[in-house]
Structure 1
Amino acid sequence: MLKNRSCGVLLHITSLPSAFGIGDLGPEAYKFADFMLESGLTYWQILPLNPVEGDSGYSPYSGLSAFAGNPMLISPELLMDEGYLEVQDLEHKYNFSESQVEFEKVIQLKKQFLDKAFINFSKNATPRQSGLFKKFCHEQAYWLEDFADYMAIKNFFGSQAWYDWPTDLRDRDKKSLKKFRKELKKEIYKEKFLQFVFFQQWETLKLYCKDRSILFFGDLPFYVGQDSADVWSHTEIFKLDDDKSPKAVAGVPPDYFSETGQLWGMPVFDWKKLKKRNYDWWVDRIDHNLNMFDLIRLDHFRAFSDYWEVPAGEKTAINGSWKKGPGKRFFKKLNKKYPELPIIAEDLGDIDQPVYDLMEQFQLPGMKVLLFAFGEGMAQNAYVPHHHVPNSVVYTGTHDNNTCLGWYSEAAPEEQKNFSKYINRTVNEKNAASHMVRLAMSSVGKLCVIPMQDFLGLGKEAIMNVPSTAQGNWLWRMKPQQADGKQARKIKELLTLYDRHRPNVDPVKMP
């Protein structure tokens, strides 16, 4: 699937500059696409775009839906361009940090914008806007109806989780749902409008990028949160008891990094039932993501082979057990629809041979992360470049790692020494990031992805996420003008040197 040498950048939408406290789908996203065009970068990798909430630390990997978009990423400027807001509506008194997302303040402000936009749409929608909205609702009904119901009822009960709702609503009693749909008609309509606007803005940005031969690289979490529209509306495909509580939850077993493993807590799938249904929900999910993105990364890929299941109520992941995942049956079904699966397997961590066999059978590229390469036993390490293979994606680090500079500053002396010996250069904090970027670029791996923080040479202050911590993550933002012409020229020189620069593109002018 990875036919040509190319390079991408990892930068989540929330990390873009913006006057409204969080990166969004507005002007700065288009500026970044122009920066990518100038740099010669091909892939823009982002994190999941699903709705998030404070109870899960605003993690994009614990979304309220596997299908819906995050309304906080809607651009107020584009709402104005579409006629949903006036210029004066964008004035606000909030003072936002340029370097971090302040989620609580952002939500307060964006809610004001979105409420006003919805009122204006309800009163003054043009025939074109009404027609596009109806078309969207019809085409996306397979997930949108349940999601809109879920959000409207959840908000009615003060953001309460669905499994704590009155039993009739928790269990989706038809009469009770019908009654609430009638009472919350306006609120349900609003949730559909917000999704309509999100996907309208997303598709416009995607088209702009496509016209410049820039491709989007999305990320798909394996599990979904217990408090999500998906579990509420599809309880039958999860291992739940009669009270809709999980019988078992997800995690990973004890390993070198944790004596007790990791207890993630999400409900696990009932793969036997999904198999009987031809994996319908999962196929819909893959279809939806491949409509949004040109390439997707399947997070926690090993769970498709086998996964760690922990009985509900356990305090740690120690007493879990391995259970069979859907394996090759699932990918054979996908392969019929997508002969060349545009999928990257996240194969980091403790991976066994059946996982590699599954990847090999379907020619799925894996990941090589250079920050894992320079410890003890470096010569035999699978992440060190002389063990890379062409059908792989090479990273300096991912959203779950330190930056290159942060890593080098905190690395053990042996790792620092190994890195210097490997590249035969004197490495220090000033040049650690640039050396690591060059090493990734030089790999035989067909696709190389560099976090924007490493292109910029930033330190640990720019870490996106520290795994197993609940707060203080997903905050980093790029400051205005950091992605400038000088930076673009530096990147283009490297891409040309290592044969990762795509041909010059004459962009199609947008109407």
Structure 2
Amino acid sequence: MKKRGSGILCHITSLPSPFGIGDFGAGAYGFADFLCEAKQSYWQILPLNPTNKRYFDSPFSSLSSCAGNTALISPELLAAEGLLTQQEVEDRPRFPEHRVDYQAASRFKRQLFQRAHTRFQKGGVPEDYARFCRGNSMWLEDHALFTALSNHLGNAPLTEWPQELINRNSEKVQLLREEFWDEVELEKFLQYLFFKQWHLLKNYCNGKGIRIIGDFPMFMNYDAVDIWTNPELFKVDERKKPYVLAGSPPDAFSAEGQLFNCAVYDWDGLKRNGFNWWIRRFHYLFRQYDFVRIDHFRGLISYWEVPAGEQNGLRGSWQQTPTQEFFNAMLQHYPLFPVIAEDLGTIGAEVRETMARYAIPGMKVLLLGFQKEAHEKSYLPHLHPRNSVAYTGTHDTATVTGWYHGADDKERQELFRYLGRRAENGVNWELIRLALMSVAHTAVIQMQDVLGAGEESRMNKPGKAEGNWEWRVPPGDLGEVASRLAEMTICYGRAQD
């Protein structure tokens, strides 16, 4: 990311689609065309790992370090392959256009996917499917079996499973592997479809000069298959129940701190293992994306550990990781290490020193430079380092328009003073201009800010469990905003060649 460029932050689930949730179908390809028309170089998305209704379908609540969210598979693309009929695809409920309905979409798609799997099995196993299974054998079989067992147990948390199933190597688990063979094969098939469709979309974007910035959760949910298969790498007891949880201390996002419903890594175990789990994780991430944003980056240097049973993050403590050994191991395997550090919130000198030592760019969120709760002056453009990424806002912040309408007079006056003029109309474009003007090599604009969307379009409110991750791009022509964004992108030297 040393070359000047800009991009848009918009998750796959937010894209237009007739199936209740954005997916890898026509809406995604249309969005790639929009990015190209707007002269953008990057498309940033949120994590693509499986989500769970128990955790309100947050993409940052990771149930697998390697698997994909099969709800993003496009039925339209399956129909084009002959795995579904056009009638099956068109005979669907009426889903809302402006919000994601995760459960309704998943139920409908599940029925379609089962039909597609039946046809797939009758057609014989293609070589690319066999190759996919071989190439992903280190995680695919365990993930598929774990998914089948979880469905069999009514989606119960791992910590509530019968003891004979909590032990992955038990005789009972091996027997159920045979009993649930059909369900295991279905999940393997869905993972194959997920990665096939995703890589087709990524290749299409790359062919248009658009690189993908991916994302992944720092911590694993305590229901994750990784804990079932590698409990020695996490701080869990013999029933795989965490005795401490990951979280964050009080900050501008949450006055009581946060609990992430995630297990804490046993860094001693990871170190003894040569950090192989992390090496493998980055291997899959760098295959999926061109660049990777590391959510809660500071957790790789030190992390906030909270005793299990607490209701918030107030009574936690900082714990250190073997930082230098970890990063040296990653760079030995991935010399370029194309990552972005999410370095927001409580960040100390040790994090800054690590980023500087390994030349890892951080995030400069303009909105936090004007919000009185954060009021972080280093986020203002005149203080941006070149090796950084300037954002108008993120999935965790308000939209620019939403913030402006809720801001007090002092905050607005500070914005006007910085701009040198009032910004009564189109304040979103004023902050987009600031981001694109920045000397930071890369600028990323939330799609909601491109559209001037208000508070109702916010993607996530930290500390609020329900009602997040549902925003979708309204259907309609994006030509006008594409032209305006392209003009501004060219003006500030960020356009594609």
Q: TM-score when scaled to structure 1?
A: 0.95
Deviation at 1:197, TM superposition (A): 0.5
Residue in 1 that maps onto 2:209:
213
Q: For the Cα contact (< 8 Å) 1:378–1:418, is it kept in 2?
A: no
> Which residue of structure 2 aligns with residue 90 of structure 1?
89
Larger displacement relative to structure 2 (253-262 or 6-15) = 253-262
Question: Structure 1, residues 303-357: CA drift from partner, whole Å, max 9, x if none?
Answer: 1111111122223323221111231211111112222220000000110000000
Alpha carbons of 1:186 and 1:207: their partners in 2 closer, same or farther (altered >3 Å)? same
Rounded Cα–Cα distance in structure 1 between residues aligned with 2:464 and 2:17: 27
Question: What letter corresponds to residue 131 of structure 1 in structure 2?
Answer: E
Give the C-alpha shift of residue 480 in structure 1: 2.0
Contact in 1 for aligned 2:252/2:345 (Cα 8 Å): no
- State which of 256, 268, 275 in structure 2 corresponds to 1:272: 268
- Which residue pairs with 2:346 in the alignment? 350
Contact 1:14 1:24 in 2 (8 A): yes
**1:415 equivalent in structure 2:** 411
Identify which range, 62-71 or 260-269, moves more after superposition: 260-269
- Give the C-alpha shift of residue 375 in structure 1: 4.6
Does the residue aligned with 2:184 lie in a helix, a strand or coil?
A: helix
Q: Which amino acid aligns with 1:39?
A: A
Work out whether residues 16 and 22 of structure 1, in 8 Å CA contact, stay in contact via their aligned partners in 2: yes
1:490 matches 2:484: yes
Q: Match of 1:252, as an amino acid?
A: S
Match of 1:506 in 2: none
Task: Map 1:290-439 onto structure 2 (within 5 A).
Answer: 290-375=286-371, 381-428=377-424, 430-439=425-434
User: How far apart are residue 178 of structure 1 and its match?
Assistant: 1.4
- Give the C-alpha shift of residue 255 in structure 1: 4.2
Tell me whether 1:466 sits opposite 2:461 in the alignment.
yes
Cα shift at 1:163:
2.2
Q: After superposition, what is the alpha-carbon deviation per residue over 1:222-257, rounded to whole angstroms, capped at 9, x for unaligned? A: 001011111111111001112221121111123466
Confirm whether residue 185 of structure 1 aligns to residue 185 of structure 2.
Answer: no
CA distance in 1 between partners of 2:475 and 2:372 (Å): 40
> Contact between 1:298 and 1:346, CA under 8 Å: does it hold in 2?
yes
Question: CA-to-partner distance for each residue in 1:261-309, whole Å, 9 max, x for gaps?
Answer: 2222311000001001111111111110010000000110111111111
Q: CA RMSD in A?
A: 1.6
Q: 1:177 is matched by which residue type in structure 2?
A: V
Cα distance in 2 between the residues matched to 1:190 and 1:39 = 39
Report how many residues are paired.
497
Question: What residue identity is the alignment partner of 1:435?
Answer: E
1:380-420 deviation line (CA, Å, top 9, x unaligned) = 71111111110000000001111110010011211110001
Q: Which residue of 2 aligns with 1:477?
A: 472
Distance 1:108 1:211 in 2: 34
Equivalent position of 2:44 in the other structure = 45
Q: Which residue does 1:509 correspond to in 2?
A: none
CA separation of 1:316/1:478 partners in 2, compared to 1, >3 Å: closer, same or farther? closer
Identity of aligned residues (%): 43
Letter in 2 for 1:25: F
Opposite residue 365 of structure 1, the aligned amino acid is P
AA at the equivalent of 1:300: H
Give the corresponding residue for 1:6: 5
Change (3 A) 1:381 1:167: same
Comparing 286-295 and 247-256, the one that deviates more:
247-256
For residues 190 and 87 of structure 1, the distance between their equivalents in structure 2, rounded to whole angstroms, comes to 21
Matching of residue 502 in structure 1 with residue 491 in structure 2: no
In 2, are the aligned partners of 1:375 and 1:414 still within 8 Å (CA)? no
Q: Is the 8 A contact 1:462 1:476 kept in 2?
A: yes
For residues 256 and 83 of structure 1, do their structure 2 counterparts lie closer, same or farther at Cα, with a shift above 3 Å needed? closer
Q: SS of 2:261's equivalent? A: strand
Distance 1:239 1:379, change over 3 A: closer
Counterpart amino acid of residue 306 in structure 1: S
Output the amino acid matched with 1:442.
M
Preserved CA contact (<8 Å) 2:368 2:374: no
Residue of 120, 140, 147 corresponding to 1:151: 147
1:378, 1:243 → 2: CA distance? 41
- Whole-Å separation in 2 of the counterparts to 1:258 and 1:36: 33
For the pair 1:27 / 2:26, whether they are aligned, the reply is yes
Deviation at residue 92 of structure 1 after TM alignment? 2.4
Question: How has the CA–CA distance of structure 1 residues 351 and 169 changed in structure 2, closer, same or farther, with 3 Å as cutoff?
Answer: same
1:451 and 2:450 equivalent? no
CA 1:100/1:52 → structure 2, altered by over 3 Å: closer, same or farther?
Answer: same
Corresponding residue number in structure 1 for 2:197: 201
Deviations 1:154-205 (A, max 9, x none): 1111212222221111012332221011111111111100000000101111
